Amino acid sequence: MENPTTTLIAAAGLVGGYGTARWTGNRRLGGAVLAAAGAGAAYRWRRTVGAGPAVALTGLYLGAFGGSHPLAKRIGAWPAVLAVTGVVAVASAVAERGAARES
């Protein structure tokens, strides 16, 4: 894919950050993956959907990361990560689609 959507970047950050931490046993490395993808997504959201929605989507991304922890205690780690990733992905796709229609 020549130009991955921001939705894919954000999803890769959440899933990849958790997977990296889990499989390497290094939470800092997983956090670095999460942060790098989050920064990239925030940058691209700002360019594609504008500053206000970018702030909201970045907040959702960070909230999803934080929210996955208590959710994991109820439904398990991977299901929690996938659930919050789905929420972020849908919100991002809707915002990007809306911005593309306005262009």
Instruction: Decide: residue 2, CB within 10 A, 0-12 exposed, 13-18 middle, 19+ buried.
Output: exposed
In the predicted structure, residue 18 carries a pLDDT above the cut 50: yes
Q: Which long-range contacts (CB under 8 A, 24 or more apart) does 67-71 make?
A: 68/14, 68/18
For residue 87, what pLDDT is reported? Answer: 98
> What value does the mean pLDDT take over residues 12-27?
98
pLDDT by residue (tens digit) across 33-54?
999 999 999 999 999 999 999 9
